[in-house]
Amino acid sequence: MAVGVLALQGSFNEHLAALRRIGVKGVEIRKAEQLDNITSLIIPGGESTTMAKLAELHNLFPALREFVRMGKPVWGTCAGLIFLADKAVGQKIGGQELVGGLDCTVHRNFFGSQIQSFEAELPVPELAAKEGGPSSFRGVFIRAPAILEVGPGVEVLASVSIKEGSAESESKVIVAVKQGNILATAFHPELTIDSRWHSYFMKMSPSNNEITAAGSSSNYYEDPESYLYNKQPKTDLPIYE
């Protein structure tokens, strides 16, 4: 049984590559019946309205909702986070259909347009405790959503600090959460060389623990600081310190 990556649009190839780095087989999912052959599912980043229209065209929403309801691990990144939210604001006229299951309210385009994309160092104590490596993660935010509110059963895994207007004061916005079988990130771990989020997701299914332990990169665990920051490809995105 493989890990499925919804391959309607967006960064599904990057997720498949990240899974290969930890020794896990990923398969592209485009039809409802393909969900029967996977143990867990990743819904990638992309253009959420376009993804929703394609999912509706292929009659995927009922099957996706059933997959979530069955308790199989599901991870949404960026647009995938919007898909999984019970409520989304800031949508285009007419809105879009959601899969739901994650007790939160998401702002679809919280951080602004494509040119306002950025990177930020995110404190990730839960990820570091489970997967080792640095206590922070370099999050890549591309026309990203943010989580405005979470329900009582939702665990916050990461937040980003933002400046309020021209003032020096800062506030924190939630960008990664976990609720039962659902993981969601507003940023794009698949666009970095750091595979800890993928390994963390795999371990949400008990049967996958041995696979991820065998497939994890020895280079990363032997020298995480060097592996992450010296070998990571350079980008042109601004850095939020």
Q: Looking at the predicted structure, is the pLDDT value of residue 205 above 70?
A: yes
Looking at residues 127-154, what average pLDDT do you find? 95
Mean pLDDT in residue range 121-144: 95
CA distances 226 to 135, 192, 193, 229, 240, Å, are 14, 14, 12, 6, 21
What one-letter code names the amino acid at 29?
Answer: I
Tell me yes or no: is domain 2-240 CATH 3.40.50.880: yes
- pLDDT at residue 13, rounded to an integer: 94
Q: What is the mean pLDDT of the chain?
A: 83
pLDDT score recorded for residue 206: 61
Query: What is the structure's pLDDT at 240?
Result: 37
Active-site residues, by number, are 78, 188, 190
Amino acid 177: pLDDT: 98
The whole-number pLDDT of residue 168 equals 65
pTM of the full predicted structure? 0.84
Number of CB atoms found within 10 A of residue 157's CB: 22
The Cα diameter of the chain in Å comes to 52
Domain residues of the chain, as ranges?
A: 2-240
At 58-109, the pLDDT tens digits run 999 999 999 999 999 999 999 999 999 999 987 665 567 899 999 999 998 8
Summarised one tens digit per residue, pLDDT across range 143-199 is 899 999 999 999 999 999 887 665 566 789 999 999 999 999 999 999 999 999 999
